[in-house]
Amino acid sequence: MTTPIPHTGRRTTGGLFLPFLLTAAFLALACLGPDPAHAADPAGPAGAYQAASPHLYRHIKGVNPRVAVWLVAQLHLWFAAFVLAVPAFVLVMEAAGVLRKDERYDRLAFEFIRLSTTAYTLTAAFGAVLAAVLFAFYPGLIKYMSRIFSPTFAPYLLLFVVENACLYAYRFGWKTMRQGRAKLVHMGIGGLLNLTGIAIMVIANAWTTFMMSPGGVYQSGLFSGRLWEAINNPLWNPLNLHRFMANIAFGGSIVAAYAAYRFLGAGSDGERAHYDWMGYTANFIAVAALLPLPFAGYWLTAEIYAYSQQMGITLMGGIFGWLFIIQAVLIGALFLSANYYLWCGMERSDGGKRYTPYIKYIAFVIALCFLVWFTPHTPQMRPSEVRAIGGQYHPVLGPLGLMPAKNIAVNIMILFTFLSFLLHRRSNLEATVRWAAFGKAAQAAIFSAAVLNITFLGVYYGYFTNTVYKVASSVPQVVTTILAIAACTAIDAVLFRGAKRTGPVRWGKMPARSQYALVLLAVSFTWLMGLMGFVRSAIRQHWHVYGVVRDTSAHAFTPSITYATRVVSIGTVVFMALMVFIFYLNGRKRDEGLL
């Protein structure tokens, strides 16, 4: 296979002013925003003492403190997610390059890490701004949190310094440490980079989850002195897992968007081929990490319920229920664009044409599942209704029981996306093993059986049994999906061992429109992350630390969904603008020897 050699072709300019313009717009927004005050009733009941809370907030005229913190935190998080995720798959790719003795992986890995180095600076900058904004507007809360978590601050900073050093050694040592033992050292640095990154995230997650499900404190907020209980609070590990996986998916999608950007602006076939391949790989990473994400989501939700029924109901019922419909639409859009991209990719080889007739059926099934998922259910209930039937729920997984049909849809959607991958993978292959026909039949049988089983489980448990068992279907359904994917992949691996190639894969031979699917993927991921991040934070309602430290500011109220959406959209646009700016800078840099 030829190595595509990109070269610096035509460059776009003028992207410079855009990010700054938008950042200015965002600051302007942060300064406006509504400022309604909910006056407290001054007269108290008899026999009660009114403990006025100490001064906890600082006001700066014209600035909406909540929106400022919200946007800065979100931007910090987006960048942090990106710079945490990229080293993970860079290291895997570097190892793959060494094991397969394929230089291409090494180059691609290097190009990925180059992107994340630039983003790292912005991550740190937004982190610093976030700390400053929090100190400025919420000194009381910060003081409270510091009293508990101050022992974690020094390790956090130390890890940050080490991570920084690792990143720079990893990135700038890439060229010099390419051979023999040096390569191993280099990969060791990469490993350390990943470990420090994860450690940093895990510490920050402890602070965040403490605010949702505080541990180690008394009801009154008095700290017991047991730091580990505060760190290892009920939601800590579920969030660790969920965030890590989401970060990988998100990071992959952003890198794919970068590849799309370079593909579209490519000045030569070689360059186009290289970025096509990069886009394909990044998209693969994004989708592979997206598939198991719902399961991490289940765990997190279940733990939220287990911690506080009230918080769980806030999350799934009433007004926030709508956000899950919106999420469903977004995930549908993600699946559709990923599939669309794969279908376009079949044009890369002549053999792919064999499968074109099937695409319309896959498309139909996915669209159908999408519609099922989209059908509103929960949000039609009023919060009071949800509360009224709340008692009948399974104590832990309760709300999920409401969604048997949606569970069928999402599992089938995952399976059919996997099918797209399989077809794409085979597009230029022809199995040569003697039992090829049998193998394919076995795959088809497994696949059909899985679909039937998922449907049966969903329908039977969902509609013909007691409420308590409704939820019982989701676990075997997920197991079915996973087993089917694993079995089909295993068969496929053997089936196509030593397969005949029907023709070369012509990287770069992709229609431009396919690249916009990658852009859509990145935008959707970003926006979705922002929105669901809002939900995670907002279910604390009027508490800084749930049930312990009350938000007594004028901004303690929950905003409407439309308002939240607007804030998230502004954030997304700012983030994408800054990211595209990074793309632009990376595209302009002279490719350093390696490429």
Partner 1 sequence: MKVFYRYAAFAVMAVVFYTAFVELVAPDVTPSPPPPEEEFVDIGKMTVEEFIIIGERVFKGKGSCALCHKRVRGRAPWLGEIAVTAAKRMEDPRYRGKATNPHEYILESMLDPSAYVVPGYGKKGTADTVSPMPDASKPPVGLSRFEMEAVAAYLETISGRGATVDLERIKKEFLSNGR
**320-334 core/surface letters (b: 16 or more CB in 10 A; e: else):** bbebbbbbbebbbbb
| Cα 95 off chain centre by | 24
Among 20, 135, 153, 218, indicate the residue that binds partner 1 (CB under 8 A).
218
Contact (Cβ atoms closer than 8 angstroms) between residue 79 and residue 87: no
Query: Among positive and negative, which fits the CA dihedral 87, 92, 98, 100?
Result: negative
The rounded distance, in Å, linking the Cα atoms of 544 and 552 is 9
Q: Is 220 in the site for partner 1 (CB under 8 A)?
A: yes
Residue 1 in contact with partner 1, rule: CB under 8 A: no
Candidates 1, 2, 17, 41; binder of partner 1 (CB under 8 A) is 41
Residue closest to 496 by CA, chosen among 420, 418, 440: 440
Q: How far is CA 557 from the centre of its chain?
A: 27
**Among residues 176, 498, 562, 593, the one that binds partner 1 under rule CB under 8 A:** 562
Q: What binding mask, one character per residue, do residues 509-548 give for partner 1 by CB under 8 A, x or -?
A: -------x--xx-xxx--x-------------xx------
Can you tell me which of 8, 152, 489, 552 binds partner 1, judged by CB under 8 A? Answer: 552
Q: Does 3 bind partner 1 (CB under 8 A)?
A: no
Helix (H) or strand (E) segment spanning residue 406: helix 404-426
Looking only at residues 256 through 295 of this chain, which bind partner 1 when binding is defined by CB under 8 A?
260-261, 264-265
* Residue from 3, 12, 375, 392 binding partner 1 (CB under 8 A): 12
* Residue 39: other Cβ atoms inside 10 A: 7
Residues 221-240, one symbol each (x = binds partner 1 by CB under 8 A, - = not), give: xx------------------
Nearer to partner 1, 415 or 580 (CB): 580
The total number of residues written for the chain in this structure: 595
Distance of CA 338 to the CA centre of its chain: 15
Residue 520: enclosing H or E segment and its boundaries? helix 512-538
Cβ pair 397, 305 in contact under 8 A: yes
Q: Does 52 bind partner 1 (CB under 8 A)?
A: yes
Task: Decide if 215 contacts 280 (C-beta within 8 A).
Answer: no
Site map 329..348 versus partner 1, x via CB under 8 A = xx------------------
Query: Considering beta carbons, is residue 445 or 512 the nearer one to partner 1?
Result: 512
Of 551, 578, 582, 595, the one binding partner 1 by CB under 8 A: 551
580 binds partner 1 (CB under 8 A): yes
Q: Report the residue number, 1 or 46, with the smaller CB distance to partner 1.
A: 46
On whether the CB atoms of residues 541 and 558 are closer than 8 A, the answer is: yes
**Nearer residue to partner 1 within complex by CB, 325 or 363:** 325
CB 298 within 8 A of CB 241: no
Query: Rounded distance, CA 286 to CA 292, Å?
Result: 11
Is residue 48 within the footprint of partner 1 (CB under 8 A)?
A: yes
- Report the interface residues with partner 1, using CB under 8 A: 12-15, 18, 38, 40-41, 44-55, 218, 220-222, 260-261, 264-265, 318-319, 322, 325-326, 329-330, 516, 519-520, 522-524, 527, 541-542, 550-552, 556-562, 565-566, 569, 572-573, 576-577, 580, 584
